[in-house]
Amino acid sequence: MKNSEFNFEYTVKRSGRRSSAIQITDDGKVLVRVPYLTPDREVRELLLSKRYWIEKHLAKIRESRSIWEGKYFEEKDLAMLKAWAKKDIPPRVGHFAALMGLEYGGISIRAQRTRWGSCSAKGNLNFNCLLVLLPDEVRDYVVVHELAHLKEMNHSPRFWAEVEKIIPDYRARRTQLKELGRPLISMIR
């Protein structure tokens, strides 16, 4: 939807959720997620209240795109990053799993455009090979995040409490992941 009072387009997604939220996707789309019965007036008010935050984040995405536009990882680059990640990430997983008192299944390393990590119901962990290009503290945040899913397979307050036990500044690291990771992940075809 384009509205003349905003310098950006947005899409409203209505669902059975209880609260409203604004999401900016990696490709610069603004999604406004609201409960089914939310009036358009409330959507507009939410957008107005978050207008500068939205515009700031869209500007960062445009800036990072202009720097990296047209640049992609070649297969040989991704193969090298995967080999590096296979040496780097498993010891980190072992270290943090011991700290958290957890056991996990296998670890796989992939080049993915949408995820930095995931945890299966069987306890298998998957990590993006691009993590090795990020600072250690960001990489550790992703490892702890995925390990915490072994206790809580959701993003509930209990889940975040598990992450916070090991990484008290996880919010700052999550922000850093979004800022530094967005241009990298856009370079995978």
Kindly report the CATH number assigned to the domain that includes residue 132.
Answer: 3.30.2010.10
- Judging by DSSP bridges, how do beta strands 30-35 and 10-15 pair with one another? parallel
% pLDDT > 70, the chain? 92
2 assigned to some structural domain: no
Mean pLDDT across the chain? 90
Radius of gyration of the chain (CA): 19
4 assigned to some structural domain: no
pLDDT (0 to 100) of residue 138: 95
Burial (CB count <10 Å: 0-12, 13-18, 19+), residue 60: middle
Same domain, 55 and 87: no
- The residue range of the domain holding 83 is 75-185
Burial (CB count <10 Å: 0-12, 13-18, 19+), residue 56: exposed
pTM reported for the whole predicted model: 0.67
Same domain, 161 and 180: yes
Same domain, 81 and 42: no
Structural domain ending residue among the three candidates 48, 68, 88: 68
123 assigned to some structural domain: yes
84 assigned to some structural domain: yes
- Give residues with Cβ within 8 angstroms of 118, minimum separation 6: 125, 126, 146
Same domain, 171 and 90: yes
Decide: 111 and 82 in contact? Cβ < 8 Å. yes
Same domain, 62 and 153: no
Same domain, 86 and 123: yes
Number of H helices and E strands in the chain, helices first, is 6, 6
Residue-wise pLDDT tens for the chain (189 aa)? 555 678 888 999 999 999 999 988 766 789 999 999 999 999 999 999 999 889 888 887 776 655 455 578 889 989 999 999 999 999 999 999 999 999 999 999 999 988 999 999 999 999 999 999 999 999 999 999 999 999 999 999 999 999 999 999 999 999 999 888 888 888 887
Same domain, 89 and 152: yes
Three-state secondary-structure class, residue 80: helix
3 assigned to some structural domain: no
Same domain, 19 and 82: no
Residue 144: DSSP 8-state: H
Q: Total domain count for the chain? A: 2
Sheet holding 21-24, edge to edge: 10-15, 30-35, 21-24
Look at residues 140, 94, 152, 103 and name the one whose alpha carbon lies nearest to residue 123.
Answer: 103
